[in-house]
Structure 1
Amino acid sequence: MHGPASPGWLLVALCAATGAYCLLRMRSSDETQRRAAGDEALMGFGMAVMAVPGSAFTPPAWVWPAYAVVFGGAALRALWVARSGTHHLHHLVGAAAMVYMAAVMTSSPTAGHAHGGSGVPLLTGGLLLYFAAYVLVSGVRLLPVAGAAGSAATASAQAWGDRPELARACRLSMGIGMLAMLLTV
């Protein structure tokens, strides 16, 4: 995405670190968590590559259509898997947002808005609202619950890759990253 270099590199670092943690979560003994972690790792690394500042690297013209194909496939997979759990609907929205941003970058790789008008396009605004709500809800879910003193012992017995609060923090950071990327579209 085309924005200032320093925040762009911070976003790259955040998304790459999140993607790396999600790869480690793929070693979980829980199959559903492994699958979700794989989807989230793809999203984290994809966001990291897309967030590289344009001043540092200008990708060839074929990159954005390739992104659209990869994340279009991820969206179709999320749609198929959403039959078994509503969490995959968020993966569907995230993959669709990546397809949308890749399409915007394909049509105008050097400008933020390819739509010619002033203001925020309707789809961008809808995605911004969705991810803002997702970030707020995810942040609230990370707040400690009163009476959860016994959960500290349970958490120490779990493998660090299987801890749900770390997975929630991972999803929260990717939601924040998606918000930042959508603001530059």
Structure 2
Amino acid sequence: MHGPAMSGWLLVALCGATGAYCLARTRSCSGEARSTAGGEALMGLGMAAMAVPAAVLALPRWAWLGYAVVFGAAALFALRGAVRSSHHRHHLVGSLAMVYMAVAMTSGGGQGGHAAAGVPLLTGALLVYYGAYVLRSGARLLPQAAVAGTPATVARQPELAPACRLAMGIGMLAMLLTL
């Protein structure tokens, strides 16, 4: 993606670590949770690969088309469960956003450092969606208010998956801003 190199590398680190955690999480769960963790791992690692600063690695057009194919397949997989689960709908939107960014990069962004250009209305709609997603996800990480006079403490170690989803949402916002 395009933008300052330091922010690109920070995005690579954030998304790569998130994707690696989700990949490790697939080993400890089964069924629907495993499928969700696998989708999140693909998204995180794919975002990390796409966020490598263009000044370091200018990918050829066919590589961006490869990203579009991989995330198009992920979108079809997410479409299966989109009817029954809002999380699958989110994966569907995320996969389609990755396809959109990869296609935008084929229009010049992946060739010699020219700026990528997306459709402003679609980019704006995705920015609004991910902005709302990040705010909602961040609010869910806040401690819940005390119930019936008990202090608001966390009884068990919180799972990192919600924080990883928040991190990927922030990463997606950053990537969309570069279009």
TM-score by length of 1: 0.87
Corresponding residue of 1:92 = 92
Give the superposed CA RMSD. Answer: 1.8
The offset of 1:25, in angstroms, is 1.2
SS of 2:59's equivalent in the other structure is: coil
Corresponding residue of 1:178 = 172
The offset of 1:113, in angstroms, is 4.2
Corresponding residue of 1:22 = 22
TM-score by length of 2: 0.90
Corresponding residue of 2:138 = 139
* Identity value in percent: 63
Within 5 Å, give how 1:61-100 maps onto structure 2. Answer: 61-100=61-100
Rounded to whole Å, the distance in 2 between the matches of 1:143 and 1:48 is: 27
Rounded to whole Å, the distance in 2 between the matches of 1:113 and 1:22 is: 29
SS of 1:53's equivalent in the other structure is: coil
Deviations 1:131-180 (A, max 9, x none): 00000000000000123769744x25xxxxxx5x4111000000000000
Paired letter, 1:13: A
Within 5 Å, give how 1:5-16 maps onto structure 2. Answer: 5-16=5-16
Q: Are 1:25 and 1:33, in contact at CA under 8 Å, matched by a contact in 2?
A: no
Rounded to whole Å, the distance in 2 between the matches of 1:150 and 1:6 is: 38
Counterpart check, 1:51 vs 2:45:
no
Q: Are 2:145 and 2:152, in contact at CA under 8 Å, matched by a contact in 1?
A: no
Paired letter, 2:176: L
The offset of 1:24, in angstroms, is 1.4
Q: Are 1:78 and 1:92, in contact at CA under 8 Å, matched by a contact in 2?
A: yes
Corresponding residue of 1:167 = 161
Corresponding residue of 1:112 = 115
Rounded to whole Å, the distance in 2 between the matches of 1:36 and 1:53 is: 28
SS of 1:89's equivalent in the other structure is: helix
Deviations 1:79-122 (A, max 9, x none): 1122331210000000000000000000112333436xxxx710
Gaps of 5+ in 1: 157-162
Rounded to whole Å, the distance in 2 between the matches of 1:114 and 1:30 is: 40
Corresponding residue of 1:159 = none
